[in-house]
Amino acid sequence: MRYAILSDIHGRRKKLETVLADAETRRVDRFISLGDVGADDCLTLLQEVGAMAVFGNYEVSGWRRLAPSHRAWVRGWPALLAEDGFLAVHAVPWWPNGLQTVKDFDDWLKGTGRPWRSLFPYLTEDEDALWQVLAELENSGKAILFHGHTHQQTIWSWGTDGRLRRVRAAIVTVKPGHYYSVGVGSVGFPEDGSWATYALYDTAGGEIRLIRLKAPDPSSFPT
């Protein structure tokens, strides 16, 4: 399988269209959205390509503002997907026991008065959270966590020596006995200098590839 994994669209339809078209040229088998889609027209595009999805903090706070058909779809999204050797989540793969759905998360935040960051922390801000990712991967029997939320493309790895390392390459071959935390970036508002970003994962070749797209040439737009 070849997966295109994208996140944090935040209603930017044109960028999403460009990402989906680019992924199609790379012969992707399946799309996965990691939440914070942000608009009905973007949800329609994801439905059209048969995307799988997990919810993010935007869905928790904004699902009631969606069209009824999309509202029902989003409320059925899980917080976590476990696929071919990897986990996929919006922010982190842990939260209080008993929470499963968008509404569960919404009710918990309202009932406790806690800020949304208590359920959706940023992995870029907390090294202890990265070590917790390793524990979650080991417990799940998966080698890779794909996440969004940070709006940055980052890869961290743990080798057989147990050391945490930042991976600077945009293409990584998954090694036996290694674990990886992969930030796929943002389609709508990347914070690392690109116009739109996403990730590819080829399970056959064991290859993770971070994709950065440039803004289309305005002269190519129809008049």
pLDDT digits (tens, 9 = 90+) for 36-92: 999 999 999 999 999 999 999 999 999 999 999 899 999 999 999 999 899 999 999
Residue 221 counted as domain residue: no
Judged on CB neighbours under 10 Å (0-12, 13-18, 19+), 94 is middle
Residue 151 counted as domain residue: yes
Rounded CA separation 43/41 (Å): 5
Residue 124 counted as domain residue: yes
Residue 144 counted as domain residue: yes
pTM: 0.95
Sequence-ordered strand ranges (E) for the chain: 2-6, 30-33, 52-53, 80-82, 86-89, 144-147, 153-158, 164-167, 171-173, 179-184, 196-202, 207-213
Residue 69 counted as domain residue: yes
Neighbouring C-alpha atoms within 13 Å toward the C-beta of 175? 9
pLDDT score at 223: 40
Domain that holds residue 57: 2-216
| Helices 68-75 and 40-48, axial angle in degrees (round to 10) | 60
54 conformational bin, left if phi > 0, alpha if psi -120 to 50, beta if neither: beta
Residue 222 counted as domain residue: no
pLDDT tens by residue, 172-213: 999 999 999 999 999 999 999 889 999 999 999 999 999 999
Residue 223 counted as domain residue: no
Tokens found for residue 86: 């990897």
Residue 163 counted as domain residue: yes
Domain count, the chain: 1
